[in-house]
Structure formats: C-alpha cells, structure tokens
Chains A and B, each alone.
Chain A
Amino acid sequence: MSTAQFAAFSDNAIMFASIVYVLAFLAHLVEWVFLRSLPAPEVAEDRAPVLVAATAELSGADVAGTTPPPDKSAEVQDRELRVETWGRIGLALTVLGCALHFLGLVSRGLASDPVRVPWGNMYEFTLAGTFGVSVMYLALMKRYHLRWMGVVVTGFLVVVLMLDQLVLYTDAGPLVPALHSYWLVIHVLAAVVASGAFAVGALALGLFLVKDRATRRGRLRPGGYLSRLPSVESLERVGYRVNAFGFPIWTFAALVAGPIWAEYAWGSYWNWDPKEVWAFITWVIYAAYLHARATAGWKGKAAAAIALVGFASLLFNFVGINFFFGGGSLHSYAGR
C-alpha cells in the first residue's frame, strides 16, 4: 500500500474504532440498566431472602394474585444473565475497538515515508494516549476486576477520540527534524503508558470521591450505579495501585528519558521549558499524592483529590501548553 492508502486506512480504522467504542459504551449502559432492575445487593443479602421465604410460605398457602416465587427467582436469574451478557458484549466490543485503534495507530506510522512512530503531533499523541488508556484498562481488567469501570472508560474514550478527530486532526506526514531520534519512541511511549495509567487511576478515584460523598450523605440509592460499584475502600485501592504503577513510569518518561533526549537535542538536559515545568509539576503532585496517602488525616478523600489535581495538570500539560504557550515552548512541534 502507498502512504496515502495507509493514511486513509488509518483514518477509517480510527473511525470504526470510535464507532465500536460507542457500541461498547451502549452495551455497558444496557448492562447497568438491567442491573438497576435487579434487587440491590445489600437488600438481596439482608432482606430479600426473608421476603422470598415469606412469599414462598404464602404461595404455599395458595394465595392468588402473587407471582409464584420460583418464577420470580428465575426472572432474577434471567436478568442476572442479561447483565452478564451485556457486560461481556461491552467488554468484547472494547477489545475489538482497541484492536481497530491499534491498527489505526500502526497504519498512521506507515503512512509516512520513511516509516515512523505514530506520535509526531497532537492528533497522534491523543490517538496514542487514548490507546494507552484502552490498553491499560484491558490489561488491568482481570487483575483488578475493572468491568464496573467499562461504562466510564468507554465513555471517556469516545469523547476524547471524537474531540481528537474534530479539533486536532492533521494529515499524515513526515516528522520535523527535531523528532528524528529513537528517544521519541522511548520518551513518548513511556509518557503514553504513564498517562494511560493515571487516567484509569483518576477515573477510579473520581468514582471513589463521588461514592464516598454519597455514602456519607446517606444518598446512596440501593440498586443505583454507585451502589453497584466496588466498595469505597477497593475503589480507593484500585486507584492507588494504578497510580502507583504509573508513577515510576512517569518518573522515567519525564525525568530520565526526557532530559536525556533534551541533552541530545537542545544541549541541556533541563531547560525549564513550559512542558518540562508542567511535567515536573505533575510529578510533584503525584509524589504529594503518594505521601498524602501514607499520612494519617490525608488518606482517602484528600489524597484522592490530590491525585485528581495531578491528573488535571497532566491534561493541561498535554493540551494546554500547546494551545496557550504555542511557539513559546521548545515542545511546540508537538502542536498542530
């Protein structure tokens, strides 16, 4: 295939990946809709058995008008099955979307002559970054049982990919000379993986904060979305673990690979360039998060809020620097 064909293929693959992510998002929505019609977990444990037992006795005493209990439990089972099915469909679609996303990314790299890594401008960084989120979510799925996150992650992917194509789209082309370095592969890849982890961590901690607040105020509706999420403790723990996974990688990307490349390209390993400054700020905030989490009185809500601030600074560094500082940054070629 020619470079132009690869470019077109990439655009199509990304379009289809977006569509599949939308379908995955819808499947997860359906999953939650069915979940809502199920008895709430707490109720199911505490009251429902009693209730079922009571109706069983009643129906045994031939009370007309009440639905026979075996049917009811069958209906619940049926709904549970549906929940499971739609959850699996959502997951399978996410995997498919991720595969298409991968194809789109690879063909984007093949769409220029000479072949290059598919992260040479903002559009491609965002493609790679969202791919990082998608992969990170799928990779950690089994270990941390993340399916409850499906609806949030796929929603996030859809919105970001849509914005990427609408606002940031750039035609495929060769790299600017400043990017002719294998450090582009190492530095950006590490940054993408770390950003993916931080995004997943931020989603978990954001949900933790919302659920924690609802629980405290007694607004946790049994059977609602929040009550179906894992416990606040495990939300917080998953958030911590994913962030803790991302932090050393971010350290490597921002404070090792970046400076080494800067030393090669600009003659000084630390230039206080806006992008560097914000990478450093992000690093400091996540360091503060890890410390706060180990400090009595900060653990929990305060620490989670810090992590979200860290993610906000990461996003600002990713997008804001290029838009607001533009040519003022040595990283300006990373723009459009």
Chain B
Amino acid sequence: MTLTSEHTEAGGSASQPPQPPSAPPALSPVELSRWAWRQLTSMRTALVLLFLLALAAVPGSVVPQRNIDAVKVADWQDRHPQLTPVYDKLGLFSVYSSVWFSAIYILLMVSLVGCIVPRLRIYWRALRAAPPRVPRHLDRLPESRRFELDEDADIVLVRARTALRGKHYRVADHDAAVSAERGYLREAGNLLFHLSVLVVLVGFAYGQMFGYKGSVVTVVGQGFSNSLSQYDDFAPGRLFSPDDLAPVSLHVDDFHVKFLTSGPEMGQPESFDANITYHSRPGTPAQQHDLAVNHPLTTNGTSVFLVGHGYAPVVTVRDGQGNVAYKGPVVFLPQDPSFRSVGVIKVLDAQPQQLGFEGFFLPTYGFTMQQGPFSQFPDALDPVMSLTPYHGDLGLDNGKPQSVYSLDKSKLKSFPSSDPKRLGPDARIKLSPGQTVQLPNGLGSIRFDGVKRWVKLQVSHSPGKGIALGGVLLGIVGLMGSLFIRPRRAWVRVTRTTDATGRGRTVVELAGLDRSSGGDLAGEVDELERSIRTSDTAPHEESPA
C-alpha cells in the first residue's frame, strides 16, 4: 500500500519524460522470503489479521454451527436448500474449524512469534545494559528542572542517587552526573502477555484434539455407562480414540423439579436436580451425587452435566393377537416452556401389522377450539397423551437408520377419523394415565401406564483446560504489567559554580522522560526535585523554572 502510493507520488511529481516501464530486478528467493517475513511480522499486518479474526468470527454467531447444534444446522439446511451447498463449501457450518478461520489465527500466531522473538533478544540486551548516557541538553527533554543548592556537588549527587533508588530506578554513575531508568517489567509483561496467547492456544487445541463431548437421554430409573454406543450424539476431537473413554457408569435414581407456581415468571423451573449413583471405574464402590445445573459430577477425568429434562410416558401396546408388543417408557421431547412434548412410539413386534404412534404429551392438559390440545403448565398435574395411531410397515427392516423421534410414514396408514370435518381426516386418541384405547379393526390396544421423567446428561472430557486457564491468568498479569508499569528515564547533572558574591553554588539539572504515553511525569520530576533539595535546610529564593 505504502509502496504504491510512494511510486505514484514519485511519478506524479517528476517532470521528467516518462521512462519506459521496466520490470524491477527479480528478488532472489532468500530476499523474497525475508521480505515476506518482514511484512508478516509487521505491526500493520498483525492489526489487519486481528481485524480479520474479529470479522471471521462473526458468521459463526449467525449461521448455526455443526459442532454446537447439529439439529439446528439440519433445520436451517431444510429451510435454505439453495444456500446450503454454497455455505457448505465455504465451511460456514463449521466456521471455527474451517480452513480460512484457521489460516487467520495461524498467520496471527506466526506473526506474533515473529514479533516477540526479536523483542526477547532486544529485551535481554536492554535488561543488562546500563541506563543510557546523560544527554547534553537536559533542558530539551519533556520535563526538566534547573536549580541551585549550597552543598557540594558530591553530596547532591549522592542524594540524587538515593532519591532515584528510592523510586526503584536503576542508577548508573557518570562524571558529575547520574542516569537512571525504571519500569523494565513493562516490556516483560508485554512479552509475557503475547507468550500466554500461545499457551492458551496450545491448551485449547489440545482439548479440541483429544477431548470429546456427548449427550445422552436417560430415563429416571435407568443407567448409563460410558461407551460410544450409549450416546445419542457424540462430538469427538480429531485425535480422540474410543479407548480414551473413562469407564464411568451411573444410575439415575431420582429427579426433582420445582416450577414457579406464581409471579411473572410462573412456569419457569425454580430448580431441578437428579440423584445419581455412580462408579468411577468398574469395581470401585458406588458413590452418590446430586447432579444439578452448576453442580456437575467430575470423576475419573470425565465430567457429567445435567443439561435438560423432560417426560417419558410409560405405555403398554398390545398387538392384534393380544400379545404385549411394547412396554416401557418412551422419551418425548419438550417443544416449549410449557413442556408440550412430541414423540413417537414404534411397535416393531406387533402382529399382524406393525404399529406406530405419533403425537403429543401434555403435562397439564388444556383445550381450546382455536388452539386444540395444549399444555397449561410444565409440571405433570394432569398428564394427557394425544396420539395419532398408524398401522403398516415402519420401514425399519431395510436397515436404513431412522430417528427415534420421527415416523417414516411412506408405508404406514392412519385410521379414518369419526368426524373428518371437525377433527381432521386422521383418528386421534386421547389418553390419561390408566386408560386403555382399543385400535379399530382389532389391530391392538394402547394403555397409558404412567409418567416417568428423563434427564439429558452431557458427558465431556476436555483435557488441557488447566493449561488454557493458566495461560489466560498469566496473560492478565502480563497485560497489567504492560499497561500500568511506566518505563521512565531520569538524569541528574551537577555543576559547581560561584555566584556574584563569590560563594560556591551547585547547579542541579534534572530531567525526566516517560517512554510510554500518559502518566504524571511532571509530578514525578517534582518529587525528585523535592527529594534532592530536602536536606537543604536553608530557605532559598525561588529558582527560575
């Protein structure tokens, strides 16, 4: 950028006849790489990269991300079929592991290393160097004082040295002068901060490579053991191997939830927690833990979190031949704060035809003509299931994977409704606990036995978090050093003269320089002046400033 502008300026101002454009001499590979390195490690490049990093992080907050919420990504892709392939190619569904995002932060790290390595060398040299020599014209520095004292030059100089040392200056003696410097730790803090960025990145990357995060829905009264097949969804790091799963197992004994029954936040959960019994590895004694939000279980390097809860109505389905074809809890997924939940029941073993049910679970039943059935309150006060039964082929025999939360209706048929005009074409059944409904044509029956709850557990292992945390804390220490330590230089020179009466006088020249911007330099120089004058007991006429 600068180069071009200089070129155009030179071309514009020169009134010489235009010369034929000649190619500049080609750079040798060494020169080229040196030039590229210098460009990359320049502050301007670092600034541009910082901006790019900020900018590149934005799309990840707008477009749903695969590693955060795969379901939402799928939803989004369904709604935007045309944009999906484009976005996919750009890596917009996994911004933070995309090539371009990685390229920016890797370049930034290279630039950072290229910046701090030479500075380390300079700093090392500066640390050992004596404070710089005394400038000839102290009065040209930003803050300077000149005053006269009675005492001998040596005494004044000793006092100046003490005053400077008292202010934590490093002092060097010269001929009838001292130079002093302080605030060496500022650059140390600066370097520490930049190194800590690398440490954080290493810790973060380590966790991303070797860690994992998975979630599992467990019905209260059932258990979970830490193996891949148990997870509903699982996001491993790139270098994760299933052997890394710690052999933790747990059993969900009980679950409590309290909803607010009054006030503006009515229906919000006030608290929820699950009592679990766990083994950190096979053979170890069972232990108890009360799992709640902000109160996870951490054992054997694995953390278990309670991240959600919902209802699992227990049903018994009999088939057309009167046999129990399904019995047990079915997980329904809550859709809104009232815990209106949707779910499906797939009865594979039903004869002569397979049966399927799809519908709602409403923890506190309500009904209006406009809304149809709905849930009035999230707690199970008057639980009702409202289901649409299907019969036929569930489509599970061909081995194609299916979601447990949806029915493949291509080979299923519903039952005709008794009043198609008012209730819609498909027959629906409404069940309260203890009720049984017979399906038409003697195809079977369904009984609503009761309500259980389920909890969603998130299991994760993030190694390297200690490294990352340590890195950030170091970074803050370094940052404070680099922002608040003021590097300063000060000089004192004494000259012996005689005044008009022939009395010996010592002229003191004092000057200060603040090497960072800001800071009350004048105040500090004033204080130094006061210290140097202090034991000068005799009152003096004001010296000209």
Residues of A within 8 A of B (CB): 170-171, 173-174, 176-178, 180-181, 183, 237, 240-241, 244-245, 247-248, 251-252, 255-256, 259-261, 263-274, 277-278, 280-281, 284-285, 287-288, 290-292, 294-295, 297-298, 313, 321, 325, 328
Where chain B touches its partner, the secondary structure class is mixed
Whether, in the assembled complex, B382 has its beta carbon less than 8 Å from a beta carbon of chain A, the answer is no
Contact A265 B465 (CB under 8 A): no
The one of A173, A237, A259, A298 that contacts B518, using a Cβ cutoff of 8 Å? A237
Closest to B48 in A: A288
Whether, in the assembled complex, B260 has its beta carbon less than 8 Å from a beta carbon of chain A, the answer is yes
Known: A255-B472, A288-B51, A328-B72. A248 touches B480 (CB 8 A): yes
Whether, in the assembled complex, B294 has its beta carbon less than 8 Å from a beta carbon of chain A, the answer is yes
Question: B43 contacts which chain A residues (CB < 8 A)?
Answer: 291, 294-295
Smallest Cβ distance from A286 to chain B, in angstroms?
10
Question: B72 contacts which chain A residues (CB < 8 A)?
Answer: 328
The one of B47, B64, B272 that contacts A291, using a Cβ cutoff of 8 Å? B47
Whether, in the assembled complex, B61 has its beta carbon less than 8 Å from a beta carbon of chain A, the answer is yes
Whether, in the assembled complex, B265 has its beta carbon less than 8 Å from a beta carbon of chain A, the answer is yes
The one of B47, B204, B479, B484 that contacts A292, using a Cβ cutoff of 8 Å? B47
Whether, in the assembled complex, B476 has its beta carbon less than 8 Å from a beta carbon of chain A, the answer is yes
Closest to B197 in A: A287
Known: A174-B260, A177-B271, A267-B460. A260 touches B469 (CB 8 A): yes
Whether, in the assembled complex, B458 has its beta carbon less than 8 Å from a beta carbon of chain A, the answer is yes
In the complex the two chains form, what is the Cα distance from A109 to B269 in whole Å? 19
Smallest Cβ distance from B255 to chain A, in angstroms?
13
Closest to B2 in A: A297
In the complex the two chains form, what is the Cα distance from A17 to B316 in whole Å? 63
The one of A177, A183, A256, A280 that contacts B473, using a Cβ cutoff of 8 Å? A256
Query: Contact flags (1/0) for B357-386 with A, using CB distance below 8 Å?
Result: 000000000000000000000000000000
In the complex the two chains form, what is the Cα distance from A170 to B67 in whole Å? 34
In the complex the two chains form, what is the Cα distance from A105 to B465 in whole Å? 35
In the complex the two chains form, what is the Cα distance from A281 to B269 in whole Å? 32
Contact B264 A171 (CB under 8 A): yes
Question: A171 contacts which chain B residues (CB < 8 A)?
Answer: 263-264
Smallest Cβ distance from A60 to chain B, in angstroms?
33
Question: A237 contacts which chain B residues (CB < 8 A)?
Answer: 517-518
Question: B437 contacts which chain A residues (CB < 8 A)?
Answer: none
Contact B264 A280 (CB under 8 A): no
23 contacts between A and B (CB under 8 A): A171-B263, A174-B260, A174-B263, A176-B268, A177-B270, A177-B294, A244-B483, A248-B483, A256-B473, A259-B472, A261-B294, A263-B303, A267-B303, A267-B305, A277-B60, A277-B61, A284-B53, A285-B54, A295-B43, A295-B44, A295-B47, A325-B61, A328-B72
In the complex the two chains form, what is the Cα distance from A177 to B258 in whole Å? 10
Smallest Cβ distance from B265 to chain A, in angstroms?
4
Contact B294 A269 (CB under 8 A): no
B interface, size bucket: 35 or more
Residues of B within 8 A of A (CB): 43-44, 46-47, 50-51, 53-54, 57-58, 60-61, 64-65, 67-68, 72, 96, 204, 213, 260, 263-265, 268-272, 292-296, 303-305, 307, 458-460, 462, 465, 468-469, 472-473, 475-476, 479-480, 483-484, 517-518
In the complex the two chains form, what is the Cα distance from A177 to B306 in whole Å? 11
Known: A267-B303, A269-B465, A272-B60. A288 touches B483 (CB 8 A): no
Known: A171-B264, A248-B483, A270-B204. A280 touches B57 (CB 8 A): yes
Contact A266 B65 (CB under 8 A): no
| Apart from the given pairs A245-B483, A264-B295, 4 other A-B contacts in the complex at a CB distance below 8 Å | A174-B270, A180-B294, A267-B458, A281-B54
Closest 4 A/B residue pairs (Cβ): A267-B305, A274-B61, A171-B264, A288-B50
Contact A278 B61 (CB under 8 A): yes
Contact B462 A268 (CB under 8 A): yes
In the complex the two chains form, what is the Cα distance from A295 to B369 in whole Å? 68
Question: A174 contacts which chain B residues (CB < 8 A)?
Answer: 260, 263, 265, 270
Smallest Cβ distance from A28 to chain B, in angstroms?
26
In the complex the two chains form, what is the Cα distance from A297 to B5 in whole Å? 15
The one of A272, A287, A298 that contacts B68, using a Cβ cutoff of 8 Å? A272
Among B61, B264, B295, max chain A CB count under 10 A is at B61
Contact A267 B270 (CB under 8 A): no
Closest to A288 in B: B50
Question: A268 contacts which chain B residues (CB < 8 A)?
Answer: 213, 460, 462
A-B contacts at CB below 8 angstroms, number? 135
Contact B61 A267 (CB under 8 A): no
Smallest Cβ distance from B202 to chain A, in angstroms?
14
In the complex the two chains form, what is the Cα distance from A166 to B305 in whole Å? 38
Question: A173 contacts which chain B residues (CB < 8 A)?
Answer: 260, 263-265
Contact B476 A241 (CB under 8 A): no
In the complex the two chains form, what is the Cα distance from A188 to B304 in whole Å? 25
Question: A328 contacts which chain B residues (CB < 8 A)?
Answer: 64, 72
Smallest Cβ distance from B227 to chain A, in angstroms?
18
Contact A248 B61 (CB under 8 A): no
Closest to A329 in B: B61
Question: B46 contacts which chain A residues (CB < 8 A)?
Answer: 291
In the complex the two chains form, what is the Cα distance from A267 to B304 in whole Å? 7
Contact B50 A267 (CB under 8 A): no
Contact A177 B518 (CB under 8 A): no
Smallest Cβ distance from B461 to chain A, in angstroms?
10
Among B269, B272, B483, max chain A CB count under 10 A is at B483
Contact B307 A176 (CB under 8 A): no
Closest to A277 in B: B61
Contact A256 B476 (CB under 8 A): yes
Smallest Cβ distance from A296 to chain B, in angstroms?
9
In the complex the two chains form, what is the Cα distance from A178 to B268 in whole Å? 11
The one of A176, A281, A290 that contacts B57, using a Cβ cutoff of 8 Å? A281
Closest to B94 in A: A272
Known: A177-B293, A288-B47, A288-B51. A269 touches B265 (CB 8 A): no
The one of B54, B67, B469, B476 that contacts A248, using a Cβ cutoff of 8 Å? B476
The one of A247, A265, A277 that contacts B294, using a Cβ cutoff of 8 Å? A265
Contact A267 B476 (CB under 8 A): no
In the complex the two chains form, what is the Cα distance from A328 to B60 in whole Å? 12
Question: A295 contacts which chain B residues (CB < 8 A)?
Answer: 43-44, 47
Contact B65 A272 (CB under 8 A): yes
Contact B517 A291 (CB under 8 A): no
Question: A284 contacts which chain B residues (CB < 8 A)?
Answer: 50, 53-54, 57
In the complex the two chains form, what is the Cα distance from A284 to B47 in whole Å? 10
Contact A281 B58 (CB under 8 A): yes
Contact A264 B296 (CB under 8 A): yes
Smallest Cβ distance from B8 to chain A, in angstroms?
18
Contact B269 A177 (CB under 8 A): yes
In the complex the two chains form, what is the Cα distance from A261 to B294 in whole Å? 8
Contact A269 B462 (CB under 8 A): yes
Smallest Cβ distance from B521 to chain A, in angstroms?
12
Contact B57 A277 (CB under 8 A): yes
Contact B293 A271 (CB under 8 A): no
Known: A281-B57, A287-B50. A181 touches B68 (CB 8 A): no
Closest to B64 in A: A328
In the complex the two chains form, what is the Cα distance from A261 to B295 in whole Å? 11
Contact B53 A178 (CB under 8 A): no
Smallest Cβ distance from B442 to chain A, in angstroms?
45
In the complex the two chains form, what is the Cα distance from A113 to B134 in whole Å? 68
Question: B53 contacts which chain A residues (CB < 8 A)?
Answer: 284
In the complex the two chains form, what is the Cα distance from A261 to B472 in whole Å? 15
Contact B293 A180 (CB under 8 A): yes
Question: B67 contacts which chain A residues (CB < 8 A)?
Answer: 272
Smallest Cβ distance from B114 to chain A, in angstroms?
15
Smallest Cβ distance from A116 to chain B, in angstroms?
12
Question: B293 contacts which chain A residues (CB < 8 A)?
Answer: 177-178, 180, 265
Smallest Cβ distance from B218 to chain A, in angstroms?
15
Known: A252-B476, A272-B96. A263 touches B465 (CB 8 A): yes
Closest to A267 in B: B305
Question: A256 contacts which chain B residues (CB < 8 A)?
Answer: 469, 472-473, 476
